[in-house]
A and B are shown apart, each in its own frame.
Chain A
């Protein structure tokens, strides 16, 4: 981990040197904004959704005349859901294209790869949906427009002991994902302090197909529920196999579940399970309604998910900051993003705190009748 980080930073600094010479010739009539997303690969729906949200925001801003008298130009790189690719993508965007800011990613592991490069080059980075607390600790140029997992883990712990009335919870963690490990840790701490017992704790590798070994061990321990902080593909397979093994206890997880693919792969095995996420598109705010309408119009009737909403908000927060800074100079832009307060985003009011995290409410979704159904809201 340490070594690979060092290499990225070294690569980035070399890239930085080049950018000094190449960037100056830029200027022109557009403001370049970089984006990296997992458009293909294992977590393709994350990247596709956040990208569509971001794209919609940029198009709306341009249709309304752009910012500072210039049009926005969105440069998107696909990191293919692969470790190592985000560093390449962000290096290219910064040193070759000379973007003024970076938007991305959904998955924390991949944001954590890009963040040190943005920090080193002093290019502001706004992650739409990476919730691992360490992401924004990479430096003062790294922001997010979502809550972090200290909050999400706490809310899930309260949910387990409150709504589910679970006295004993088993935890199944994806050891390949920083998101999963971080969320499991904060859940465990909060759940234990609220008097709950953490039962069997087992690991899996994201991308595995057979989880029966772990599930059988959990079954014999007879917990009241299973906490599964993972991404939608693995979650769907785990729920299928839990059902096969005749387990009927509720399984719940975090925002990594949010994808239509969860239902396509998991089908009826997902019934009755819960997850927490950033917002519900059923939220009756004017910002959400107008976003959902324009999204459906732009993407031929497709219904947006939380990642699309946050992709939209990440771009809108950036545009708002450019306007307030009245400049795209990196220091001034960083200041403006850091002082974002009560910005009316589609997902809700966004204010960034001293840790550069958004302080926002969280919603619980239950899968009922093959659909994501709004269940409850938790305020910070």
Chain B
């Protein structure tokens, strides 16, 4: 039984990261109806920003202090928000009135451009580098179970950010505008909603989430320019699984995928096929519910 609960904890820790990334995918999809494939690279850039910011912050606020840790998160999220908005301004906005396929292909192009530029030795370099230890690692022992502080932090941050996003979208003016743009861009523009600014804001928000996810993903690990590809793909699947465009759906999908992957990874003979297992479940669910678990073609979309 210990085995089961430990896998549950591991799966939730991993799933929370997928959920955070999926939130970014789903928000952009909600507003623009396209998949921002560069999202996984913004995640990587978030981790690298933290990698470069952390030593400077820790000099001021002390190594592994809570304050320094929070500062690193905020600064990296801000850096990525700017990056996300820049990508939107330069690559996607000029294509606003073109077919969706054009934007989709551009997104793949942006993703490849970032990955390959970053791999150049004069930019970030392609060799993995150890990520700084931002918080002191403390494990909580419950009998034979081990809960690492990293997993706990990840789950908490994900739930808090989900709540925050929900609040922004449902309860604020800008959120109302986001929903209006999502519902009908032209009508929203006619009603005086500054569409370009709203879309830019959505990208900023989504990219900030990606930065947070990137840092949590890199804790106790190493970073390299292609680190975003695998979690990015899975988070995309998670967003579809939960019903793309739906915030709680993205989080549910993320947790589900993390759990499936962890459990499959721990079964002999299955560990090699854990992706196939997770993606097989995805196909099954989509056969029964084509719009995803929580997806409904209603005003819920953001």
Contacts and interface: CB of A to CB of B under 8 A. Distances in A.
A169 to B, nearest CB: 14
Nearest to B127: A44
B263 A213 contact: yes
Contacts of A265: 128, 130, 222
Given A175-B272, A200-B268, A244-B139, A209 B126 contact: no
B10 interface: yes
Contact of B222 (A45, A210, A233, A245): A233
B148 A244 contact: yes
By size class, the interface of chain A is 35 or more
Contacts of A245: 6, 146
Contact of B268 (A45, A202, A207, A208): A202
Interface in B203-220: 217, 220
Interface centre among A81, A207, A212 (most CB of B within 10 A): A212
A200 B14 CA distance: 22
A215 to B, nearest CB: 8
Contact of B130 (A219, A241, A246, A264): A264
B119 A42 contact: no
B88 interface: no
A80 B141 CA distance: 42
A233 B141 CA distance: 28
A217 B2 CA distance: 10
Interface in B52-110: none
A13 interface: no
Contacts of A210: 10, 14, 261-262
A201 B13 CA distance: 24
B267 interface: yes
Interface in A32-68: 40-42, 44-45
Interface string B7-26: 10011011000000000000
B50 to A, nearest CB: 16
Contact of A202 (B125, B261, B266): B266
A190 to B, nearest CB: 21
Given A200-B268, A207-B230, A261-B127, A212 B137 contact: no
A216 interface: yes
Contacts of B2: 220
By size class, the interface of chain B is 35 or more
A240 interface: yes
A11 to B, nearest CB: 23
Contact of B128 (A42, A80, A202, A213): A42
Contacts of B265: 202, 204, 211, 213-214, 217
B128 A233 contact: yes
Interface in B102-146: 119, 121, 125-128, 130, 137, 139, 141, 146
A352 interface: no
Contact of A244 (B146, B230, B263, B274): B146
Contacts of A216: 3, 6-7, 10, 262, 266
A355 interface: no
A203 B7 contact: no
B227 interface: yes
B185 interface: no
Contacts of B172: none
B176 interface: no
B10 A240 contact: no
Contact of B3 (A41, A175, A207, A220): A220
A40 B124 CA distance: 11
Nearest to A201: B268
Given A42-B128, A213-B266, A202 B222 contact: no
Contacts of A267: 130
A240 B220 contact: yes
B186 interface: no
B224 interface: yes
Contact of A214 (B139, B141, B271): B271
Contacts of A45: 127
A244 B10 CA distance: 11
Contacts of B128: 42, 233, 261, 265
Nearest to A207: B230
Nearest to A264: B130
Interface in B248-271: 261-268, 271
A90 interface: no
Contacts of A87: none
Interface string A65-106: 000000000000000110000000000000000000000000
A261 B128 CA distance: 9
Contacts of A81: 126
Given A213-B271, A214-B271, A244 B220 contact: yes
Contacts of A246: 139, 141, 146
A245 B10 CA distance: 10
9 contacts: A40-B127, A42-B127, A210-B10, A213-B261, A217-B268, A219-B3, A220-B3, A244-B146, A244-B148
Interface of A: 40-42, 44-45, 80-81, 175, 200-204, 207-214, 216-217, 219-220, 233, 236-237, 240-241, 244-246, 261, 264-265, 267
Given A45-B127, A208-B230, 18 more contacts: A41-B126, A42-B127, A44-B127, A202-B268, A207-B230, A210-B10, A210-B14, A213-B11, A214-B265, A216-B262, A217-B3, A217-B7, A217-B265, A217-B267, A237-B222, A245-B6, A246-B141, A267-B130
Closest 10 CB pairs of A and B: A213-B265, A217-B266, A44-B127, A213-B262, A212-B10, A220-B3, A203-B272, A202-B271, A213-B266, A265-B130
